[in-house]
Structure 1
Amino acid sequence: MRTTSVGVVRIPTKGPGDVAGLLGMIEQGEIDPKAILAILGKTEGNGGVNDFTREYAVAALCTALAPHVGLEPHRVEQRIAFVMSGGTEGVLSPHITVFTRKSIAQAPAGLADKRLSIGMAQTRDFLPEELGRSAQIEETAKAVVSAMADAGITEPKDVHFVQIKCPLLTSDRVEAASARGNTTVTTSAYSSMAYSRGASALGVAVALGEIEEGIRDQDVLRRFELFSKVASTSAGIELIHNVVIVLGNSASSASPFEIGHAVMHDAIDAAAVIEALASVGLKAGSTANTGRELVNIFAKAEASPNGNVRGFRHTMLEDTDISATRHARAAVGGLIGGLAGSGAVYVSGGAEHQGPPGGGPVAAIVRVADDSD
């Protein structure tokens, strides 16, 4: 098994098309563009079907990176995985997190712990009528297994976060399915985002053995007791397949970073965020020099489907002015930002089958200082 070194850096952005910070780090030699494997970002759009800040951000990044990786801009996505999550409500701050990976001859002496590793895989393109159904679940599960192998992770327990970018339905895609005599899971573009996210999350659960029974089409968005504790899925108009990024710890990694996670049971579950920080040796809000530096936190946010949080009614699901996912991102983003000491955290809305109903996974990445730091 090859030994790899994974790097992670968080870069603030001034807008969806802002690539100055990334290019500056490349020019200064702090990031090797040819080692970039994935970029996860938060953009200041609405997170809905018509949120084109996601596509704009990806286009800007591809154009900026193309000359550095020797590819035409439209081919950069074949080499680098881009996952842009729209919506920076409340104190959430737009930013990108860049992941790099290099093969090295051997691990440094004395490195005993498993360290951060990353793997990537893609599904085949889906037909519109396959979204939100068993085909998407099954293909996603296969891709998760491939991404784990790419990351050098052999045990499901070492997987701490699986980020997936998945497609949604548009009127053109619905019409194309109808023209072939097929029906889609829904004709609503907005509802299709939830179906696609949910099916993708169930694919993660199947791959990691979190669900032992077979999943049927009718289980998606109905049987919410079926979920993954590490899946984070985000739907967008810019693709028609699933991009799968597995983050975990591996003995084959010599990275100076580690990742851990916990599961939030509702939108105000501060204890879970504290647990996630503790899993990587950090205390919430602490500025003490522990030899560990928080890089970023990744989490899902969801409005409780039963209309209340710990017995108290909320109106997120009944507000016609602001969608429930935007409410949830703002609430969870504020909670995590307060405990992490920064609003530049990755909080994605819509947690169908991603953690228990009303909750979601929360993962933390830290940089571990060595003796030379």
Structure 2
Amino acid sequence: MVYSFCRSDRGEPMVAETQIDAVRVPMAHTGDVCELDLLLTDGRLHPDDVIAVTGKVEDSNTGGNSRVDADHAVRRFLAERGTRSEPEIGTIPMVFTTGGVGILTPHLVVYSRSRAEPAPDGGPRLAVGTARSARMLPQWTGTARVIEANADAVRAAADDAGLLPEQTEYVVGKAYHPSQQALAAARAAGKDIDALDDDTLFRKTSGSAALGVAVATHELALPSGNQVGVEPGLWSGRACISANAWEPVGGNGPDTQLILMGNRPGAGGRLRVGRAVIGDLLDVDALPRALRRAGLEVGPGPLTADQRARVIAVYVKIGLPPDGLLRGRRQVIESPSYSGEVKIAAGAMFAGWLQDTMIYLSGSASHQGPPGGGTLAVIVDVS
């Protein structure tokens, strides 16, 4: 389905009346799409309208295939149940994060866009845009060129949503991430690339994407490449982006794929998005702050059953305490399992407040939220 976009006299993007719908379903295993089939049978999901997918999957081991399994299963479902070609389906961003640890439940969130009348109350509603960056090269790693390419992709995704970049509320994505083998091959071909261990490389790749969000949405001026992964005081409050070596999934890769969310006046539907910055790993109040920003009035304690039914999706990005202290209390950061244990703890903290375990939670928040903190966003039903 094609939507036509134009510009108002003020230069703001305008889009034919559309609405975004989102459904969240649990997964019984990494390739499980049974719940999507049920939604299709009930008329609540139309495969040809799907524009983006996110998911929390269970594998937490290096070299696991859970992201690929989930990606292939959803794309196969869309191809078999819809009318679009495989190349068309291959362009759809699908962003999965592993580490379904503790009480976190593996799940999918599927976003669809269709024609609709504006919201009856005249208020802004959820708009979603998607984009892939230009195909990137290993020798760009750690340079401002990667930040600029990611910023261009954010601008394209905002335009796809009918939003100005500064109207962006949140961006979920997977960043371009060259393998060590690709970097070695580029060096052998004469490219000047610094030696980067795996941890530094991850901070560079995911951080460059997050800073691309910050630049495109006017949170920051363009940093230099040597600031990426080094100056944690530079960060975006709107990004939830990880990096993985390109996997055999949709698109031609390697590139950064982005799903951008905002609230657009004139959009139809029942959904809104709200975000909050997570100050540190005990900042559970970030969740109600985001819910209120999205338009759901909540009290000081866990959600009621009615409130919980209105929460469609929750995204959390967290980082580790850089100095090994959490509000002055020592953390055993030298433990090899510390990072995974933090995910379990943070997931339980937010799940307890939410009274639900279907949370997209991702670690290693490079340039995403303040050091030792992170970012959070929620999609809620305000009908």
- State the TM-score, normalized to the length of structure 2: 0.89
Given that 2:138 and 2:183 are in contact with CA atoms closer than 8 Å, whether structure 1 keeps it comes out as yes
Question: Over residues 282-340 of structure 1, what are the superposed CA-to-partner deviations in whole Å (9 max), with x where a residue is unaligned?
Answer: 42523164697111211101111111111111123x112x262x233222211111111
* Shift in CA distance, 74/190, structure 1 to aligned 2, threshold 3 Å: farther
Residue of structure 1 in register with 2:359 after alignment:
345
Give SS of 1:41's match. strand
For the 8 Å contact 2:48–2:84, the answer to whether it is kept is: no
Counterpart position of 2:227? 219
Where structure 2 has 5 or more consecutive residues not aligned to the other structure, the ranges are: 1-13, 248-252
Counterpart of 1:35, as a letter, is: D
Q: CA deviation at 1:163?
A: 0.9
**Residue 212 of structure 2 is aligned to residue 198 of structure 1:** no
In the TM superposition, 1:115-154 aligns within 5 A as 115-154=125-164
Equivalent residue number for residue 107 of structure 1: 118
Q: Which residue is equivalent to 1:315?
A: 332
Contact 2:122 2:266 in 1 (8 A): no
Q: Which moved further from structure 2: 227-236 or 20-29? A: 20-29
Verify the 8 A CA contact 1:43 1:94 in the aligned structure 2. yes
Tell me how far 1:171 sits from its aligned partner: 3.4
1:24–1:291: structure 2 CA closer, same or farther, 3 Å change rule? closer
Q: 2:308·2:355 contact (CA, 8 Å) conserved in 1?
A: no
Tell me if the contact between 1:201 and 1:354 (Cα under 8 Å) persists in the aligned partners. yes
Residue pairs, 1:1-373, within 5 angstroms? 1=14, 2-46=16-60, 48=62, 50-71=63-84, 73=86, 76-78=89-91, 80-104=92-116, 106-108=117-119, 110-154=120-164, 156=166, 158-212=167-221, 214-237=222-245, 238=247, 239-279=253-293, 280-283=295-298, 284-287=301-304, 289=306, 293-316=310-333, 318-320=334-336, 322=337, 324=339, 326-369=340-383
Which shows bigger deviation, 236-245 or 305-314? 236-245
Give the drift of 1:186: 4.3
| Contact in 2 for aligned 1:169/1:193 (Cα 8 Å) | no
> Contact 1:117–1:255 (CA<8 Å) still a contact in 2?
no
Mapped to 2, the partners of 1:4 and 1:28 lie a distance apart of: 22
Tell me how far apart the structure 1 counterparts of residues 194 and 360 of structure 2 sit (CA, whole Å).
29
**1:169 aligned counterpart, secondary structure:** coil
Map Cα deviations across residues 120-151 of structure 1 (whole Å, 9 max, x no partner): 11111111122343121001111111111111
> Residue by residue, what CA displacement relative to the aligned partner does 1:9-39 show, whole Å, maximum 9, x if unpaired?
1010011111111122123211011110100
Separation in 2, partners of 1:135, 1:323: 33
Q: How has the CA–CA distance of structure 1 residues 349 and 291 changed in structure 2, closer, same or farther, with 3 Å as cutoff?
A: closer
Matches of 2:203 and 2:64 in 1, distance apart? 15
**Contact in 2 for aligned 1:185/1:192 (Cα 8 Å):** no
Between the aligned partners of 1:234 and 1:145, the Cα distance in structure 2 is 19
AA aligned opposite 2:342:
A
TM-score, length basis structure 1: 0.91
Structure 1 stretches lacking a partner, 5+ long: none
Question: CA offsets, 1:253-294, max 9 Å, x none?
Answer: 112001111110111101222211222324252316469711
Letter in 1 for 2:17: T
Using the aligned pairs only, state the percent identity: 29
SS of the aligned residue for 1:173 comes to: helix
What SS does structure 2 have at the residue aligned with 1:234? Answer: strand
Worse-superposed segment, 299-308 or 326-335: 326-335
Two-structure CA RMSD over aligned residues (Å):
2.0
Structure 1: 4+ residue segments shifted above 4 A: 71-75, 288-292
Looking at structure 2, the residues matched to 291 and 18 of structure 1 have their Cα atoms a distance apart, in angstroms, of 24
Q: Is the 8 A contact 1:163 1:244 kept in 2?
A: yes
User: Aligned letter for 1:62?
Assistant: R
